[in-house]
Amino acid sequence: MAVIRLALIGMLTLLMASTLQAGAIEVREFDDPVMEQRYRSLTASLRCPTCENQAINDSDAPVSRDMRDRVYMMLMDGRADMEIRDHMVERFGNYVLYNPRLEGRTFLLWGLPAGLVLAGGVLVALVVRARRNASARELSAEERARLESLINRGRTE
Amino acid sequence: MTRRLLLLLPLIGFLGLSVFLYQGLSLNPFHRDSALMARDFPEFDMVTLEDPERRVDRSLLANGEVTLVNVWGEWCPECKREMPQLLDLADRGIRMVGISYKDTREKGLGFLQDFGNPFEVNIFDPDGELGFELGVYGAPETFLVDRDGIIRYHHTGYISARDVREHILPEVQKWQ
């Protein structure tokens, strides 16, 4: 019982902490819903450079705030999403992208899953083909004689 | 026999992957290169902390001398702790330039009075404008700028006496 109560208190504290944190993030008003959507998706896809694994829309770190301000300013300035992402990568590195770009360095990252699926498929195909060949082959005279004797032994017993 | 050995392949693959991923656990995600490595120190045009009338720009850092640029703030406890090491570096004749990052002028000047001033000059950056261009995500951060104004080395966080010996001094020598 005490354990459950403790767990409940812990959960409540966590919940309160997360709402408190959300309170620290400024609210921005947009006239244009498309702009608002772009702002949301940009700030959700950029990673805070100083907190581990938090998007800048979810972090009250000073640098995240600066980045959100910059995203907002650049949006108002009529810049494209791509330009804004490039702007951040130029300063904070590829680390800030939650979706790493497909380039030489990340080729393995993107290619490995597809490569493994392909390799698995080839393996399965090979095994299936080998089995089919093995079962379709005719029995040799020797094998037939052995089979015959096994069957006969079964009958006599 | 060889077919049997083939059966071991998935296990070997799994072990290899485990070793690879296990190593990843001990990596520090904050040890990553600055995005500005091997690139020009960004353009800027700002006033100094010491003299609000004096404007400085990029030519301050591309004047044929290797310079350590340290981003600091009065609000940052690690910055205070690393000042003895920075004073030591300045004593060794290394040119130091400070960036007073997200501070008021009074607090910045007070910091230098209390903890010493190893800097030839301090760039006043109250809004973190230059800091943003440098990709600074927390003070202290230190950049080594070569004679041509190109960033050659970047240190995130506190500089210990050991960091000075093992990283900073060798890097300065390398680019001098």
- Sorted by where each starts, the structural domains of chain B and their CATH numbers stand as 34-175 (3.40.30.10)
Q: What is the pLDDT of residue B31?
A: 77
**Interface test mutation site (partner A, options B137, B151, B154, B156, max chain A beta carbons within 10 A):** B137
Cβ <8 Å between B136 and A70: no
- Is B133 an 8 Å CB contact of chain A? yes
Average pLDDT, whole number, for chain B?
93
Closest-CA residue of B relative to A86 is B35
Nearest to A70 among B29, B30, B132 (CB): B132
- Comparing CB atoms, the residue among B29, B102, B135 nearest residue A91 is B135
| The pLDDT of residue A138 | 78
pLDDT at residue A6 greater than cutoff 80: no
Pair A26, A57: CB distance under 8 Å: no
Which residue does chain B place closest to A53, by CA atoms?
B29
Say which residue, A108 or A122, is predicted with more confidence. A122
| Overall average pLDDT of the A81-91 stretch | 96
- Which is nearest to B67 in space by CA: B89, B40, B96? B96
> By percentage, how much of chain B surpasses pLDDT 70?
99
Nearest to A92 among B29, B35, B102 (CB): B35
Nearest CA in chain A to B156: A50
Closest CA in chain A for residue B29: A52
Contacts of B21 in chain A (CB under 8 A): none
Separation of alpha carbons B33 and A86, rounded Å: 17
The span from the CA of A142 to the CA of B2, in Å, is 27
Instruction: Give the residue-averaged pLDDT of A144-155.
Output: 86
Contact yes or no for A117/A123 (Cβ under 8 A): no
Contacts of residue A80, Cβ cutoff 8 Å, sequence gap at least 6:
none
The arithmetic mean of pLDDT across residues B40-65, rounded, is 95
Q: Set out the domains of chain A in order of their start, with CATH numbers.
A: 28-99 (1.10.8.640), 106-156 (no CATH)
CB pairs under 8 A between A and B: 33
pLDDT digits (tens, 9 = 90+) for B99-141: 999 999 999 999 999 999 999 999 999 999 999 999 999 889 9
Three-class DSSP category at B44: coil
**What's at B78, amino acid-wise?**
E
Q: Please list the residues that pair with A97 across neighbouring strands.
A: A46
Distance from CA of A152 to the nearest CA of B (A): 33
Burial of A71 (0-12, 13-18, 19+ CB in 10 A): buried
User: Is A63 in contact with B35 (Cβ distance < 8 A)?
Assistant: no
Candidate from A44-58, A91-105, A111-125, B26-40 with smallest mean pLDDT? B26-40
The encoded tokens of residue A107 equal 């080729």
What mean pLDDT do residues A66-71 have? Answer: 96
Do the chains contact at B132 and A91, CB–CB below 8 Å?
yes
Kindly tell me if the per-residue pLDDT of A73 is higher than 90.
Answer: yes
pLDDT reported for residue A84 = 97
Q: How far apart are CA B129 and CA B136, in angstroms?
A: 10
Q: How far is CA B111 from the centre of its chain?
A: 19
Q: Chain B: give the shortest CA distance to residue A88, in Å.
A: 8
Q: Which of A12-21, B42-51, B65-74 has the lowest mean pLDDT?
A: A12-21
pLDDT at B24 over 90: no
Query: Which residues in chain A touch residue B138, judged by CB atoms under 8 angstroms apart?
Result: 50, 63
ipTM of this complex: 0.86
- CA A65-B39-B27 angle, to 5 degrees, is 65
* More confident call, A12 vs B33: B33
**What contacts A95, CB < 8 A, 6 or more positions away?**
A47, A49, B32
